[in-house]
Amino acid sequence: MADWQKITGGVTAPRGYQAAGITAGLKPSGLPDLALIFSEVEAIAAGVFTTSQVKAACVEYCRQRLQAKHSARAILCNAGQANAATGNQGYLDTLESALAIAQALNISSESVLLASTGVIGQRIKMDALRSGIPKVVAALSETGSDAAAGAIITTDLVTKSIALETTVGDRPVRIGGIAKGSGMIHPNMATMLAFVTCDAVVSPALWQQMLARAADRSFNSITVDGDTSTNDSLIALANGQSRTPAITEWGAEAEKLEAMLTAVCQHLAKAIARDGEGATCLIEVEVTGAHDELSARQIAKTIAGSSLVKSAIFGRDPNWGRIAAAAGRAGIPFEQENLQIKLGDFLMLENGQPLTFDRSAASAYLKKAAIGAYLQEDRVLISVNIGNGYGVGKAWGCDLSYDYVRINAEYTT
């Protein structure tokens, strides 16, 4: 059993945080589009960002900020314009945004981190942002996480939020998170934003290491369509307001905190994969028997990202050959005669040899997932074993439907 429990509150569940989400007029739809997360004290800050060579201005800004200073108090996120591929003026807009929110909060601009999401090539609507900043600051609340989660989404169908609680030094410690993402989702970050808050006391170097490992086991292990975006950002704050003993080196308490952080990130990552544009179910791929975890994850991500596998799942076709083909091209050596493939409880391949199975029942399993309760009974499990190694890895994705093409064909029109 996990050494934590699920609680309510999202990013405002940990002590010392407030959040808000408002409509500032950034989105043409008139829906909420400006979010703010605020720590009452300076918090240790860590971040993981897109690996794309084309980076949004906010990504460049945050990288520089975190290199110079490992702490922050505020995260401001605008939705509607990505402010990516907008040249020098886009970066100047970012600097102005940081200064404006810092002045409104009466903090240093060096304590501000930024995120943007929306259409690439479009600058932030600065007039709307300027007028929205006083409103979002005024709306800050200890119960504002849901509003913030609603203000960062774009093509998402649902908001994504979670909070967990454990104990460190006999005192409660909480981690909360919100995220957005539905398309342009692929390992090495995706068109996704995720913001995590924590009230533990943890050293900057250790917090960054924890976040990087958690990202590899969550956001870097999901895929919707094979496209990596320009704005992907995972930012985590730890403000120490739990008043627990400081975690400064690896040990039992650090291991517990990282495990809970990973659980928060994995929940948000799975929610993003399940909310993939046009998706009808979540695909979870577990690979065992690999030489190490990295190799297992590589195979799992290749299978989860295969357009042929994803299409077969949407067609409710238990075509295990596509799974075998994807595993074989993942770039990880293994002996074909060791390969085992299961779809749910249906064993389809054993020791590299095809088995007879009930195709109608296997197809019914896929159909049942497509109508299952969201993030509860809507999972299609693909299990692959490649040998006798100790490496285990997971990846998550979704099926590929007709609606994915329609949504993205009409994205800017």
How many other C-beta atoms lie within 10 A of the C-beta of residue 329?
Answer: 12
**The pair of three-digit structure tokens given for residue 279, joined into one six-digit string:** 């998706």
User: How much is the CA Rg of the chain, to the nearest whole Å?
Assistant: 21
**The pair of three-digit structure tokens given for residue 377, joined into one six-digit string:** 């009974």
How many other C-beta atoms lie within 10 A of the C-beta of residue 277?
Answer: 24
How many other C-beta atoms lie within 10 A of the C-beta of residue 211?
Answer: 24
Strand partners, 303: none
- Is residue 194 predicted with pLDDT exceeding 80? yes
Q: How far is CA 410 from CA 122, 155, 404, in A?
A: 17, 12, 10
User: Using 50, 70 and 90 to split pLDDT, how confident is the model at 190?
Assistant: very low
Average confidence (pLDDT) over 24-48:
96
- Is residue 327 predicted with pLDDT exceeding 60? yes
What whole-number distance in Å separates Cα of residue 358 and Cα of residue 355?
10
Our answer to whether residue 191 is catalytic in this structure is yes
What whole-number distance in Å separates Cα of residue 191 and Cα of residue 233?
9
112-171 pLDDT per residue, tens: 999 999 888 999 999 999 999 999 999 999 999 999 999 999 888 889 999 999 998 889
pTM: 0.89
Rounded to a whole number, what is the largest CA-CA distance in the chain?
68
**86 Rama sector, left if φ>0, alpha if ψ -120 to 50, beta otherwise:** alpha
Catalytic residue among 50, 191, 197, 228: 191
- Is residue 189 predicted with pLDDT exceeding 50? no
63-114 pLDDT per residue, tens: 999 999 999 999 999 999 999 999 999 999 999 999 999 999 999 999 999 9
Crossing angle of helices 126-138 and 87-105, rounded to 10°? 20
- Is residue 367 predicted with pLDDT exceeding 80? yes
Average confidence (pLDDT) over 172-186:
82
**Is the pLDDT higher at 327 or at 274?**
327
What whole-number distance in Å separates Cα of residue 107 and Cα of residue 47?
20
- Torsion over CA: 23, 45, 142, 168 (sign): positive
Q: Which of 58, 137, 56 is nearest to 94 (CA)?
A: 58
Residue with tokens 């040990």: 251
Question: Could you give the dihedral angle defined by the CA atoms of residues 125, 129, 130 and 136, in that order, rounded to the nearest 10 degrees?
Answer: 170
